[in-house]
Amino acid sequence: TELSKIRNFSIVAHIDHGKSTLADRLIQSTGTVQDRDMKEQLLDAMDIERERGITIKANTVRIDYEADDGERYVLNLIDTPGHVDFAYEVSRSMRAVEGSLLVVDSTQGVEAQTLANVYQAIDADHEIVPVLNKIDLPAADCDRVAEQIEDVIGIDATDAIQVSAKTGIGIKETLEAIVKRLPAPKGERDAPLKAMLVDSWYDAYLGVIVLVRIMDGVLKKGDQIRMMQTNARYGVERIGVFRPAMQTVDELGPGEIGFITASIKQVRDTKVGDTITHDKKGAEVALPGFKPSVPVVFCGLFPVDSSEFEDLRNAIEKLALNDASFSYEMETSAALGFGFRCGFLGLLHLEVIRDRIEREYNIELITTAPSVVYHVFGKDGVMSELHNPADMPDLSTVDHVEEPRIKATILVPDEYLGDVLKLCQDRRGIQEDLSYAGSRAMVVYDLPLNEVVFDFYDRLKSVTKGYASFDYQMIGYRIDNLVKMSVLVNDEPVDALSMMVHRDRAEARGRAMCEKLKELIPRHMFKIPIQAAIGGKVIARETLSAMRKDVTAKCYGGDATRKRKLLDKQKAGKKKMRQFGRVDIPQEAFISALKMD
């Protein structure tokens, strides 16, 4: 296709503002998909995505559109993941296109993710077309929201398009704006091949599928290609486009977006952001800005039933083939036995992987507390990364510890501002900015990531009744007074419950943790001390008193079937417990005990 007839774009929006619905309407109204094949949220393929209503992997579709000027255009939409965990993937897919539709719910206005995503688009030099969605609703207030877009984001919203992705109003205008207002891609057909590796995933039939954007040159079936970062070489087997079903084509030229397959064994062999060129007469210099995404949150995954360890290994290996941003290594815990220490891009990523293991592989898991990566500096000046609080070296060898910090942006209606400030303050936050975006306050905080990974988002939602929106980015490491707190149950340390805490907060945390555990651990035939300690020093303590009698004692030995039932129940309950020395700890304890307040 001629460059002047191509438009490549993405849609940026806060969650629920209507990105997927708008994509569906664009696809449907251009006849890309026959009405009878249309199902809602066409681009959100994975089950978990559908259930949670989030788009995780970038998806793409090629739309043919005959514009009012009588010309036929090819519109390539790349649907980007909307969540902060996948920020790197968002930034890559943004670099593969020239423009964005900025969708804002006209009944809600600009939210934290709107800002985070639109700034990525601005960074990628996009032309941006504001779209005010949901104008069919009585609460729509286009003037106010347009003004807010100008005030807060600083882009011109006078020509914002008023749309109802639900009823179809404004869809034609949106398509015309894509053609008229977004720039055509640039590129040289005769230059050496430069294709950006935008995304890759595993397909059961075709193997690894690689989504590419051709910058320069032409890619054809049978070409010998080379990945410039990894130096891996392959022969191109298939080449095609998404409509959104796969359709093979003969070649992809400059400005085009499509897929290739090339007998690539695993997704790990493809690095998002890498440059693909021809093995012979290839490009000399790769496209700029390649950086691999690194896991920032780690936790242990252990099978509840230790005989399922091999099944868990199999599940994790399979999932890792398809998700290069997820890391794992074997871990043994005195308390939990054999399992894996896994690294994720963020909490949502963690939840998605955990859910998939439980659901698709049917393995019940114990998840230990998520931890961030600390930088531990020894007395010898050597820095080592700490992925697991249980591995924290003895304090006498440690010079200092640094922790990752984030810049968090929170938008919240005025009446909840006080609660939000208190929450951030409680989490060791440093206020950086407070301003107003229309009727909402916008606060920017510098926060330790470890105070956010566990339940910050839940707390934020609950103190603001769901009215706050939140987004963050990593800003770097900073020194602080951080120590490892261990937990002892019946005088035995439970490694899976150790955590890094700020020294000033240790007593309060320790006390809360012991109280929680006291509620969560069932009573035994003997008294159980529960303690929190730093180094050898106990900082909090609770005692779980002994149980008086056996559950079955209630039956007075009379009804045998009832007794059997009770024993079965006990047994089933036991399966979900783990024994620590002589004490059974239910698996919920590992998560619940770490939740604050």
Which residue's C-beta sits nearest to Mg ion?
A: 20
Which residue among 53, 292, 378, 573 contacts ligand GDP (CB under 6 A)? 53
How far, in Å, CA of 452 to CA of 423, rounded? 11
- DSSP-derived secondary structure letter, 313: H
| Shortest Å distance, C-beta 495 to Mg ion | 40
Query: Among the candidate windows 89-97, 129-137, 418-426, 586-594, which touches ligand GDP by CB under 6 A?
Result: 129-137
Q: Is residue 376 within 8 Å of residue 407, measured between CB atoms?
A: no
Find which of Mg ion, ligand GDP, none residue 137 binds, CB within 5 to 8 Å per kind. Answer: ligand GDP
Alpha-carbon distance values, 539 to 70, 182, 223, 396, 426 (Å):
77, 62, 66, 19, 20
21 lies in the binding site for ligand GDP (CB under 6 A): yes
Nearer to Mg ion by Cβ, of 55 and 106: the residue is 55
Find which of ligand GDP, Mg ion, none residue 355 binds, CB within 5 to 8 Å per kind. Answer: none
Nearer to ligand GDP by Cβ, of 10 and 20: the residue is 20
Alpha-carbon distance values, 165 to 94, 132, 459, 574 (Å):
22, 10, 32, 51
How far, in Å, CA of 372 to CA of 245, rounded? 39
| Shortest Å distance, C-beta 307 to ligand GDP | 41
Nearer to ligand GDP by Cβ, of 108 and 587: the residue is 108
Please list, in sequence order, all residues whose beta carbon lies within 8 angstroms of the beta carbon of residue 349, skipping any fewer than 6 positions away.
85, 86, 297, 325, 326
117 lies in the binding site for Mg ion (CB under 5 A): no
Which residue among 8, 9, 10, 17 contacts ligand GDP (CB under 6 A)? 17
Q: Is 300 helix (H, G, I), strand (E, B) or coil?
A: strand
φ and ψ of 418, to 5 deg: -55, -45
Nearer to ligand GDP by Cβ, of 166 and 268: the residue is 166
Site for Mg ion in 47-86 (CB under 5 A): 55
What kind and span of H or E run contains 529?
Answer: strand 528-534
Task: Name beta bridge partners: 478.
Answer: 403
How far, in Å, CA of 210 to CA of 258, rounded? 8
| Shortest Å distance, C-beta 13 to Mg ion | 8
Q: Is residue 295 within 8 Å of residue 326, measured between CB atoms?
A: yes
Nearer to ligand GDP by Cβ, of 101 and 319: the residue is 101
How far, in Å, CA of 387 to CA of 390, rounded? 9
Number of CB atoms found within 10 A of residue 158's CB: 7
| Shortest Å distance, C-beta 487 to ligand GDP | 39
How far, in Å, CA of 163 to CA of 173, rounded? 9
Which residue among 16, 237, 311, 419 contacts ligand GDP (CB under 6 A)? 16
Query: Among the candidate windows 14-22, 196-204, 354-362, 511-519, which touches Mg ion by CB under 5 A?
Result: 14-22
21 lies in the binding site for Mg ion (CB under 5 A): no
136 lies in the binding site for ligand GDP (CB under 6 A): yes
Task: Name beta bridge partners: 579.
Answer: 584
91 lies in the binding site for Mg ion (CB under 5 A): no
Nearer to Mg ion by Cβ, of 78 and 392: the residue is 78
Listed residue (75, 78, 56) closest to 66, CA to CA: 75
Find which of ligand GDP, Mg ion, none residue 133 binds, CB within 5 to 8 Å per kind. Answer: ligand GDP
Listed residue (380, 403, 366, 428) closest to 585, CA to CA: 366
Query: Among the candidate windows 128-136, 445-453, 547-555, 563-571, which touches ligand GDP by CB under 6 A?
Result: 128-136
Site for ligand GDP in 157-216 (CB under 6 A): 164-166
Nearer to Mg ion by Cβ, of 49 and 542: the residue is 49
Q: Is 323 helix (H, G, I), strand (E, B) or coil?
A: coil
Listed residue (493, 453, 454, 486) closest to 585, CA to CA: 493
Identity of residue 324 = A
Nearer to ligand GDP by Cβ, of 102 and 301: the residue is 102
| Shortest Å distance, C-beta 164 to ligand GDP | 4
Nearer to ligand GDP by Cβ, of 6 and 43: the residue is 43
Find which of Mg ion, ligand GDP, none residue 113 binds, CB within 5 to 8 Å per kind. Answer: none
Show the tokens assigned to 583.
């004490």
Which residue among 20, 174, 388, 469 contacts Mg ion (CB under 5 A)? 20
How far, in Å, CA of 267 to CA of 505, rounded? 42
φ and ψ of 312, to 5 deg: -65, -40
Q: Is residue 130 within 8 Å of residue 160, measured between CB atoms?
A: yes
Nearer to ligand GDP by Cβ, of 134 and 271: the residue is 134
List residues near Mg ion by CB under 5 A. Answer: 20, 55
Residues that bind ligand GDP (CB under 6 A): 13, 15-21, 53, 133-134, 136-137, 164-166
